[in-house]
Amino acid sequence: MSRRRRSAGDLWWKNAVIYCLDVQTFLDADGDGCGDLAGLTERIDYLDGLGVTCLWLMPFQPSPERDDGYDIVDFYGIDERLGTLGAFVEMVRTAQDRGIRVIVDFVLNHTSQHHPWFVSARKGRDAPFHDFYVWSDEKPDEKPADLVFPGEERSTWAWDDQAQRWYYHRFYTEQPDLNTGNPAVRDEIAQIAGFWLALGLAGFRVDAVPFLMEESDRATAQEPHELIRDLRAYLTRRRGDAVLLGEVNLPPKQALEFFGETGDELTMAFDFTVNQALYLSLVREDAGPLGKALKAQPELPDDCQRVNFVRNHDELSLDQLSDKERAEVFAAFGPEPDMQLYGRGIRRRLPSMLDGDERRIRMVYSLMFALPGTPALFYGEEIGMRENLAIEGRLSVRSPMQWSDERHAGFSPAPEGARLARPLPDDVSTTVEAQRRDPESLLNWMERLIRRRKECPELGWGRLRLLEASGPVLAHRCDWQDRTIVAVHNLSGSTATVRLPADDGWERLVDLFGTDDHAPGDDLRLEAYGHRWFRPE
């Protein structure tokens, strides 16, 4: 497939600000204790004011909720607790009116065991949808590393009494994997994508892409990456600026493969390698691990983009670190067994891990927004929300949004004592309402950070160059066309000094968050957890 060269205006994702939320935990408009699409629509102006340009919704289709909505029963429907298709279209229209594009989770790996396809598939080898899933007459050999949820699942194969065969499930037993190598399954995937694009979506976030590839060629000799290439081509035909944002938790060179040699597979992918190196650098108060991870990044195809994040909706995965490195991060940020998950991750939000030190919290977000790529926020990060460890597993970070000091933290008008979609933490003093009234709050600072980030296209389009620094200071520049942004971040609790270069004929470095401009070539003193952005002139 030939690809036309697109202008900068087409590549909106290069300078976007992504905000991820779960509809059921964002705002309840009808008082039943569960967030809904009507509540989300009420808060579109809040997201617009924050500076969000791309809203990413976690699954909202009908589901038994074995895996927080990722076990889907109807790919074309809306969970009745959340609203209707009409309410969904109204939400998308409202977002578009504010200049916010909407993308949603596209779960291609599996369905719920209650999906009509699997209900039919269980009836036997000749059932219409039997080949939509992965079956075996004998239980295949497997390795412990194959388990996504060690401790919760003992095998990736489950016996079905009705079909009298084993079926494959990479995740929970209740989530049989789709056989994406089957052309009929691929046709269904395209139809599902076309349906939601017709309702105004700007693209999809694809879950667990490497696992998807492992299953994609079971029914045919089709090359696995062709699944993503075909889907990307289909989206481009339907909507030229549609994106595929992939979850690819792999080292840089392996992750690069999922963009395609010509950028014809994923449009964007989350940068798990840099995210994990960031936490190791925070623990050590040493920019070395993060700098090493940034240097290891291969160049992407021109139209593609990495997505930077501090915290996502799952456990904080540390699986790319060595055992010793992971133990360091556990000891500092998740020392109790209840704070850890699957032996690889931490189920806390950043403010808890950093003991509420707002200087450090702001430095981390400043750094994330200053890195080349597209920044993504998980709901509540802008106010410093914490987790609720009383909620099991990875759901601990998905408690309801905290809006005000009203009942249920303003999340729901349900009566006192009513059951909410998910319990609130014991301490809900961190709210949007309180922080809006405080000009020095994290929320107001975050709004300013996002506004400045949107004014710095060098960070979305430019190339990274690490500057000479040592110890706790990460100094880098991003160059695009004839413009440059220089950023410095002190990862330690002590003052540090860095000398910024006096090259390119710069006369001064203009402070983008204050009035303290700097002379190139002079020492710059950074206070504990200090951070500065400059534009050279």
Measured between alpha carbons, how far is 255 from 247 in angstroms, rounded to an integer? Answer: 10
Give the H or E element holding residue 534. strand 531-536
Angle value at C-alpha 307, between 458 and 150, nearest 5 degrees = 160
Distances 260 to 210, 228, 354, 368 between C-alpha atoms, Å: 13, 9, 38, 26
Check 36, 177, 207, 315 and give the catalytic one: 207
Among 380, 419, 418, 372, which Cα is nearest to 398's? 380
Task: Specify whether 440 is catalytic.
Answer: no
Task: Please report, for the chain, how many H helices and E strands are present, in that order.
Answer: 16, 21
- Alpha carbon 269 to its chain centroid, in Å, reads 9
Task: Specify whether 302 is catalytic.
Answer: no
Measured between alpha carbons, how far is 424 from 396 in angstroms, rounded to an integer? Answer: 10
Check 36, 71, 105, 247 and give the catalytic one: 247
Are the CB atoms for 166 and 136 separated by under 8 Å?
A: yes
Are the CB atoms for 32 and 24 separated by under 8 Å?
A: no
CA R_g for the chain? 23
Among 132, 77, 135, which Cα is nearest to 110's? 132
- The catalytic site residues sit at 207, 247
